[in-house]
């Protein structure tokens, strides 16, 4: 079979920003939903896609609504969570992704609350059980498909009561978990760092010697960047498109070499960076030699592969060289230990040469 456009140019990839709980295969959602009697009105892949795939520029809230439809299929079910994580590895390998950092919220896949957010009913599958299950599945998947995967655990902005437990899980599972993140609807905490549970969780993780990234300035103001850098002490920013609203904050990102995990297709569909006549933020990042990578974000909802995102970046105006550079940026800004990072970069060098 002839390779898809984009596959031949970029055979080896690195992905830093993908929500594993937003990367389920459509077929798997249907299979598991059928066994649990969920989303009964979706019988075919086409029905399901109509329900959850965001196919035109929309809002971040619309994306979050799709999650509420399909995450319940996995939430609270060990076998389903295992399958989700295991297939994630196979999908990486099929796309030529040699290293991925898979992020997820342990709490959104658990059911040990009186009113679980996504699980259909309460049960005894705890956030800790979720991390145990995902870690086992990723370990087996990485072995079977010959790739490397690490985990990033997400706090959720509108559930501050979970964050300290997330920090504890990061520390406990530090063999497989490399970092903490904060995701969900975007708004400034505005709380003092000594009071805000998210900021306290980030602090705890930093003291433990683990890494930090945060969703910021995807759809709201550049103010979020200051909070992420100065109060969450992040080393990378998820998205960051709106940093361009404030030249001062943008220049700081450039000067400090803060890595921006950009997601081309997602940026259009969330309204984070509408694809209009103006220059797309990712093209500006590339032209200014900012430290950025290209990522899929939520393949279940966006129905995209990483190659689709590279091709979309090309439509924004990025050159093949700029895309290759972004793959090396991702490797160098990954949260792997130094020696493993060096090996990852040299793996890329064997494919793309050493000029990057």
Q: For residue 180, how many other CB atoms are within 10 A of its CB?
A: 30
Tell the smallest beta-carbon distance from residue 157 to Zn ion (Å).
12
Residue indicated by tokens 């793959």: 327
Tell the smallest beta-carbon distance from residue 8 to Zn ion (Å).
28
- Alpha-carbon distance 42 to 48, whole Å? 5
Alpha carbon 81 to its chain centroid, in Å, reads 17
Residue 72, token pair as written in the block: 């319940």
Q: For residue 107, how many other CB atoms are within 10 A of its CB?
A: 27
Tell the smallest beta-carbon distance from residue 338 to Zn ion (Å).
26
Quick one: 105 or 111, whose CB is closer to Zn ion?
A: 105
Residues ≥6 apart with Cβ < 8 Å to 79:
none
Residue 124, token pair as written in the block: 């005894």
Q: Count the site residues for Zn ion by CB under 5 A.
A: 1
Tell the smallest beta-carbon distance from residue 184 to Zn ion (Å).
9
**Residue by residue, what is the 3-state secondary structure of 92-116?**
HHHCCEEEEEEEECCCCCCCCCCCC
Catalytic residue among 186, 218, 235, 261: 218
Quick one: 87 or 101, whose CB is closer to Zn ion?
A: 101
Residue nearest to Zn ion (CB): 297
Quick one: 165 or 181, whose CB is closer to Zn ion?
A: 181
CA angle 11, 325, 296 (to 5 degrees): 60
Tell the smallest beta-carbon distance from residue 146 to Zn ion (Å).
26
Separation of first and last alpha carbons in the chain: 31
Quick one: 16 or 42, whose CB is closer to Zn ion?
A: 16
Tell the smallest beta-carbon distance from residue 238 to Zn ion (Å).
5
Q: Restricting to residues 274-333, which ones interact with Zn ion according to CB under 5 A?
A: 297
- Alpha-carbon distance 209 to 174, whole Å? 10
Quick one: 10 or 104, whose CB is closer to Zn ion?
A: 104
What backbone phi and psi angles, to 5 degrees, belong to 355? -90, 10
- Alpha-carbon distance 120 to 73, whole Å? 8
Give catalytic status of residue 121 as yes or no: no
Quick one: 29 or 102, whose CB is closer to Zn ion?
A: 102
- Alpha-carbon distance 282 to 261, whole Å? 10
Catalytic residue positions?
218
Binding site for Zn ion (CB under 5 A): 297
């Amino acid at each position: 079979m002839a390779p898809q456009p984009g596959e031949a140019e970029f055979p080896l990839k690195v992905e830093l920003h993908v929500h594993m709980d937003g990367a389920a295969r459509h077929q798997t959602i249907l299979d598991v939903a059928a066994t649990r009697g969920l989303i009964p009105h979706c019988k075919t892949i086409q029905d399901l896609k109509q329900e959850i795939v965001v196919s035109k520029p929309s809002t971040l809230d619309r994306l979050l609504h799709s999650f509420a439809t399909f995450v319940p299929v996995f939430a609270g079910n060990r076998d389903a969570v295992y399958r989700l994580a295991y297939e994630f590895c196979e999908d990486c390998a099929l796309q030529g992704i040699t290293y991925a950092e898979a992020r997820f919220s342990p709490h959104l896949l658990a059911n040990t609350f009186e009113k679980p957010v996504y699980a259909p009913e309460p049960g005894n599958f705890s956030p800790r059980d979720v991390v145990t299950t995902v870690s086992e599945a990723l370990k087996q998947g990485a072995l079977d498909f010959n790739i490397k995967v690490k985990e990033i655990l997400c706090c959720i902005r509108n559930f501050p009561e979970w964050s300290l437990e997330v920090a504890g899980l990061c520390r406990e599972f530090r063999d497989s978990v490399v970092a903490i993140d904060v995701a969900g609807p975007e708004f400034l905490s505005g709380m003092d760092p000594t009071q805000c549970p998210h900021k306290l969780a980030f602090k705890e993780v930093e003291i433990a010697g683990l890494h930090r990234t945060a969703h910021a300035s995807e759809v709201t103001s550049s103010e979020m960047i200051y909070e992420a850098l100065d109060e969450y002490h992040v080393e990378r920013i998820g998205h960051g498109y709106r940093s361009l609203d404030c030249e001062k904050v943008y220049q700081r990102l450039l000067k400090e070499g803060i890595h921006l995990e950009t997601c081309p297709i997602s940026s259009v569909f969330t309204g984070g960076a509408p694809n209009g006549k103006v220059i797309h933020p990712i093209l500006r990042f590339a032209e200014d030699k900012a430290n950025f990578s290209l990522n899929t974000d939520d393949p279940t909802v966006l129905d995209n592969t990483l190659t689709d995102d590279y091709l979309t970046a090309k439509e924004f105006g990025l050159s093949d060289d700029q895309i290759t550079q972004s793959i090396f940026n991702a490797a160098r800004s990954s949260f792997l230990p130094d020696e493993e990072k060096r090996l990852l970069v040299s793996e890329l060098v064997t494919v793309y040469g050493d000029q990057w």
